Amino acid sequence: MSVEITRLPNGIHVVTHAMSHLETTALGIWVKAGARDEEAGENGIAHFLEHMAFKGTSRRSARAIAEEIESAGGEINAATGMETTTYYARVLKNDWAMALDILADIFTAPILDPEELERERDVILQEISAAHDQPDDLVFDLAQSASFGDHPLGRSILGTHDLIGGIAREQILDWRNRHYWGSRIVVAAAGHVEHDAFVAEAQRLLGGIAEGSSPQRATPVFLPTACTSEKPLDQAHIVLNFEAPGYRHPDIYVLQVLSNILGGGMSSRLFQEVREKRGLCYSVFSFGSAFEDTGQLGVYAATSPEHANELISLTTEVMMAVGEHVSEAEVNRAKAQLKASLVMNLESASSRADQIARQFLAFGEVPDIASLMARIEAVTPVQVRGLAGHLFRHHKPAFSAVGHIGGMAGYEAIARPFR
């Protein structure tokens, strides 16, 4: 059965994909509100709220939430991103109503108990410290800052020690009341689910949320610079990051193919040239991350400090070469991997629920798989070469590095070949 969509009177959209051969149901509440929607003094508040949702409601204690879902063998969790926050669960097929009731409860009625808030504040402060101690986490936070500066996209989702240490209960409630509106919410399920019954339950549990309005977000400006952190590590962790199309741009599929060719797998150019032929690192890959009005194409690698400059130089050569020549075989291989990933999501209820919810939040519809396949298949070597040339030959990269970086070339030397 195809995807079914119903709009509730308060603007919430209910999206389901029945996969009746499964014995489980994955479901959740996706809201178009995340770290990007925070003011500078609120940085980390979206993530803090997500944590506090599990710390008790007017109907359930924190322990009762965990015991009720786990007594049915289910799983429940949440995640905060730059543009969305998700509360989700996976249960056996006959328990979806119980799971939706719990999700709606923690979404609409967290009590934010002051004692629990202080305990969770300490947990989040430890989470921030742990991220700072993990160089492969820290280098990506620095990459965001080097790319977008003071814009919300340039800040860490977790926030800072100083801000989290001072956030008050009233601030969290105020932020929630400004952003958790029906017009921004998708309730989605995939697996063994019947659409009309799911809609009726969603209306009963969430129909009281005000419709509100769509987010009003500041347009990001990509102002590349360098953000580095000297640490006594055995490796230098490096990210080169370029401005790229957002997910609403027609070139988004070209970007995905380009990223795959560049560093998307063991057959990619970076893996073959940097790791297999030169042995300069253990880990190297490219990534494309897209937002509604901008995106990024970046490369990550970790190497010994004495090899850092050679690695950066070789990586630069590989990236520039994609703008000169891309073979039909490379493009076809990348397209096959992207199409396989789409189809594999159909084999997992959790992946499919997340996919259809995010697609609807992004585009106001859920494109059918055949349509997405056709858009991927339409990508040509000329398009990939053209996008690579545009990104790498006419724009400076943002640069971030963590580790022993004293002997590394300066930012201007690193950026010069690209522009």
- Catalytic residue numbers read 50
| Residue among 357, 270, 264 nearest 318 (CA) | 270
Q: Is 70 helix (H, G, I), strand (E, B) or coil?
A: helix
11: β partners:
none
Q: Is 401 helix (H, G, I), strand (E, B) or coil?
A: strand
**Beta strands 236-244 and 226-230, pairing class:** unpaired
Say which residue the tokens 């640069």 belong to.
399
Tell me how far the alpha carbon of residue 84 is from its chain's centroid.
Answer: 8
135, 230 contact by CB (below 8 A): no
Say which residue the tokens 């400059």 belong to.
309
Structure tokens at 80: 């905060």
Structure tokens at 263: 């560093």
| Residue among 117, 119, 102, 128 nearest 173 (CA) | 117
Structure tokens at 163: 């801000």
